[in-house]
């Protein structure tokens, strides 16, 4: 079972753990080496301590899925992943140098320097977007530079990959990102628009050129939503020597509607490198924020009407349903486990493009405080995740076709129903409660799901069940 702590000198899957490089809120970074290999690497370990947000575990799962698929100079080279059943980790290339975070002590920077930085970062975003990935957490601490000059984007825990299920989108209802850099559509829960990264880059360039964050650093959803209707102070008010072309570029990146921003990161990079060719609009000469009535009008509109739809993706197969299998790990016999697998496989055989989502509900107390670690110090969420993967292993499904979700809720039936509604599930498969007395006194989760689900529900029952 996964450890909650790692120490220097530990040997893990052929890697020798060295010095602690960084300890963050969601993960720690350690230098590691392996025998016969002169190169030192970084090992990223998720934090699995008491009270840890389950989203941290899900984001680490996403990063483990996304990083092996990324190539090129703008991403750290992926080396290895560790299994959650033993110790989850990601080993990656150790990049020389620092992130952009120390640069904050020197702000504001010369405009030409900010434009050059922005162009290199836009190149990296263009490469990522070309591989189907939206970073969704662009900020100074997630940007490094190679000695050869290429910008490198690090930390893919909040990223979206168009060819992979978005576990964060499916399991959680809160917007995830770093407050000063989040795009309006991210605030509203949309994670599939590459232009969200261009908004974040606009925030970064504004900050680096003026020393002021365009939207501050709000810590609550109400403050985040203000960027839907309140425009930032034009950069040239804060720093009069900023040229019109730079303000034009930055304010275009910061448009609320994504359709008014640059359509691609490549076009943004081109303008940053060719200021004389930037087409100026009223944005370039703007010397005041929008007036009271303009803001009031925007504020009076339903928020989603201010958000553009993401660009159309490539046409997908029409027969691509989502099949959810709800597993009760506390009441599962080997026979029922096998029957659930066979039922799910029969459904998948009829729909070659279907995806299987394997669910379990970690039931929370209504009154008492919940503990995220068990009496042995193991993370309950991770334990259940490992058990779900063990259940699904005999099915031999490919990674992109299979996802695992540990939902935390007081009422298991409500959690399953909520997941089915939000994620447009086409078919729910679940087992009946094994004990008839338990069904009598606690009620039937499967009966409630079958009665209220917006999709087909198949309840699997062993013939040997009593009652």
Q: Closest Cα partner for 328 from 205, 182, 462, 467? A: 462
Domains in the chain: ranges and CATH: 11-93 (3.30.200.20), 101-306 (1.10.510.10), 322-460 (3.40.50.620)
- Region at 177 (left for phi over 0; alpha for psi -120 to 50; beta for the rest): left
Give the span between the Cα atoms of 354 and 398, in whole angstroms. 12
DSSP conformational letter for 157: T
- Residue 316 has a pLDDT of 39
Where the chain has pLDDT below 70, the residues are 1-5, 49-52, 306, 309-320, 366-370, 399-400, 433-443, 463-467
Q: How far apart are the first and last CA of the chain?
A: 37
Q: φ and ψ at 152, to 5 degrees?
A: -125, 125
What's the token pair of residue 270? 């081109």
Number of C-alpha atoms within 13 angstroms, CB side, residue 330? 9
Helix axes 445-452, 412-422, angle to 10 degrees: 30
- Residue 242 has a pLDDT of 97
Q: Give the CA distances from residue 55 to residues 58, 61, 189, 360, in Å, rounded to whole numbers and listed in that order.
A: 5, 10, 15, 15
Q: Closest Cα partner for 123 from 86, 148, 158, 159? A: 148
- Residue 433 has a pLDDT of 67
Q: Closest Cα partner for 331 from 403, 438, 404, 405? A: 438
- Residue 100 has a pLDDT of 97
- Would you mind telling me the total number of residues written for the chain in this entry? 467
- Residue 122 has a pLDDT of 96
Give the span between the Cα atoms of 444 and 450, in whole angstroms. 10
Task: Give pLDDT tens digits for 30-65.
Answer: 999 999 999 999 999 998 766 567 788 888 999 999
What's the token pair of residue 347? 């459904």
360 neighbors 327 (Cβ within 8 angstroms) = yes
- Region at 395 (left for phi over 0; alpha for psi -120 to 50; beta for the rest): alpha
């Amino acid at each position: 079972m996964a450890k909650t702590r790692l120490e220097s000198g530990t040997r893990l899957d052929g890697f020798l753990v060295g010095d602690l490089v960084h300890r963050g809120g969601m993960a720690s970074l350690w230098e590691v080496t392996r025998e016969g290999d002169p190169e030192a690497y970084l090992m990223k370990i998720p934090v699995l301590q008491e009270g840890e947000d389950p989203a941290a575990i899900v984001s680490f799962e996403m990063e483990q899925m996304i990083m092996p698929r990324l190539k090129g100079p703008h991403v750290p080279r992926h080396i290895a992943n560790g299994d959650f059943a033993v110790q989850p980790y990601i080993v990656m290339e150790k990049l020389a140098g620092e992130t952009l975070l120390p640069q904050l002590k020197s702000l504001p920077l010369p405009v030409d320097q900010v434009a050059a930085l922005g162009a290199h970062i836009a190149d990296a975003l263009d490469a990522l977007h070309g591989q189907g990935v939206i970073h969704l957490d662009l900020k100074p601490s997630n940007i490094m530079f190679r000695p050869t000059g290429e910008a490198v984007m690090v930390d893919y825990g909040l990223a979206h990959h168009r060819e992979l299920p978005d576990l964060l989108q499916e399991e959680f209802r809160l917007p995830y990102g770093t407050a000063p850099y989040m795009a309006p559509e991210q605030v509203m829960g949309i994670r599939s628009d590459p232009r969200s990264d261009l908004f974040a880059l606009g925030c970064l360039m504004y900050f680096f050129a003026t020393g002021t964050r365009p939207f501050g650093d709000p810590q609550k959803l109400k403050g985040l939503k203000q960027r839907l209707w309140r425009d930032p102070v034009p950069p040239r008010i804060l720093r009069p020597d900023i040229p019109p072309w730079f303000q034009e570029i930055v304010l275009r990146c910061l448009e609320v509607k994504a359709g008014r921003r640059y359509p691609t990161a490549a076009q943004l990079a081109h303008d940053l490198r060719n200021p004389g060719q930037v087409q100026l609009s009223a944005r370039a000469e703007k010397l005041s924020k929008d007036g009271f009535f303009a803001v009031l009008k925007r504020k009076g509109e339903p928020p989603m009407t201010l958000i553009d739809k993401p660009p159309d993706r490539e046409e997908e197969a029409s027969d691509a349903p989502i099949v959810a299998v709800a597993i009760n790990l506390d009441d599962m016999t080997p026979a029922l486990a096998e029957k659930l697998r066979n039922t799910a496989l029969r459904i998948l055989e009829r729909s070659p493009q279907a995806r299987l989502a394997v669910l379990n509900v970690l039931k929370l107390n209504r009154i008492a405080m919940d503990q995220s670690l068990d009496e042995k110090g193991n993370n309950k969420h991770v334990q259940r995740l490992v058990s779900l993967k063990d259940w699904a292993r005999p099915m031999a499904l490919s990674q992109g076709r299979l996802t695992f979700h540990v939902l935390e809720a007081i009422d298991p039936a409500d959690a399953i129903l909520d997941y089915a509604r939000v994620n447009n599930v086409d078919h729910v498969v679940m087992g009946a409660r094994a004990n008839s007395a338990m069904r009598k006194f606690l009620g039937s989760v499967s009966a409630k799901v079958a009665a209220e689900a917006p999709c087909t529900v198949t309840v699997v029952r062993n013939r040997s069940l009593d009652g």
